Amino acid sequence: MARRQNESNRQVRKRFQSHTQRQENRLDQRLLFIIACEGEKTERFYFESWFVCLRDSRQVSARSCIIAPHTHTNPTGVLADLQSYQDDGITFKDFDQRWIVIDRDAERTNGGGHTLEDFNTALQQSASSKPPVKVAWSNPCFELWYLLHFRYQNSGTDRDLIITQLSTELGFRYDKRASSMFDLTRAKLGDAMRNAKRLYSSFQSQGISPDQSNPCTTVYQLVEELQNLGGGK
């Protein structure tokens, strides 16, 4: 009796392993998201954490969602990073969704930031790309998305002020190299989504262009697409 039970258990495990392998093989064939980020660490850490959630919930495989290699820090360069992606015959065109994550981040006298022309050119070239590329842009910077998890911010601002306000909300000095921001903000994601949508709708209703929409971010649109896959809920 015990022998038959052991054989039965082995058969169940074998069927489960076979089912799991077939499921993983199917997931490997789904090329869902490719994202190119302006920041080498900040945005990459955040979206890699999203991908981990999706893999943990068995919605995607490691090949399904990709962060393109980072070589540029200006908006048009980020688009070039995305469009030049190639791995084992796979290009950015093979993915269902293609995104770049960029900042308006106006030029500063002490260095850093981008020209208005470069930001707007990236938006135009993304829309005309074949296939089209979606843009998760932030004005002035990606950290606005983090701040919106804690408060609604609708007065014009700059990167330095955003960082100061975010540090206050966190209770410690914000470090853009930190890999824990996804976990620190995850519980307040619903607030961030509502605040970001409210800001975007306000500027849209007035016909204000992205480069003049300060503060505003469309990162929530990319996050919505990731949520639709079942991650981060």
Rounded alpha-carbon distances, angstroms, from residue 26 to 21, 61, 138, 227:
9, 9, 35, 20
Write down the pLDDT at residue 221.
99
Write down the pLDDT at residue 230.
75
Write down the pLDDT at residue 22.
45
* Mean pLDDT score, 201-206: 98
Write down the pLDDT at residue 7.
57
Residue 14 has pLDDT above 60, yes or no: no
Q: What proportion of the chain, given as a percentage, has pLDDT over 90? A: 78
What φ, ψ does residue 127 adopt, rounded to 5°? Answer: -65, -35
Residue 28 has pLDDT above 70, yes or no: no
What sign for the dihedral angle of Cα 141, 122, 39, 185?
Answer: positive
* Mean pLDDT score, 30-35: 95
The reply to whether the predicted model has a pTM over 0.75 is yes
Domain ranges in the chain are 32-227
Phi-psi region of 89 (alpha: psi -120 to 50; beta: other; left: phi over 0): left
Write down the pLDDT at residue 21.
45
Q: What is the mean pLDDT of the chain?
A: 89
105 neighbors 114 (Cβ within 8 angstroms): yes
Closest CA to 137 of 122, 154, 159: 122
* Mean pLDDT score, 132-154: 98
Q: Please give the residue that has the higher pLDDT: either 26 or 74.
A: 74
Write down the pLDDT at residue 1.
55
> Rounded to whole angstroms, how far apart are CA atoms 130 and 187?
37
> Rounded to whole angstroms, how far apart are CA atoms 72 and 33?
20
Q: Please give the residue that has the higher pLDDT: either 8 or 185.
A: 185
Write down the pLDDT at residue 184.
97
Write down the pLDDT at residue 153.
95
Residue 108 has pLDDT above 80, yes or no: no
Using CA atoms of 141, 171, 67, 186 in order, give the dihedral in degrees to the nearest 10.
-110
Lowest mean pLDDT, pick from 8-17, 111-120, 175-184, 211-220: 8-17
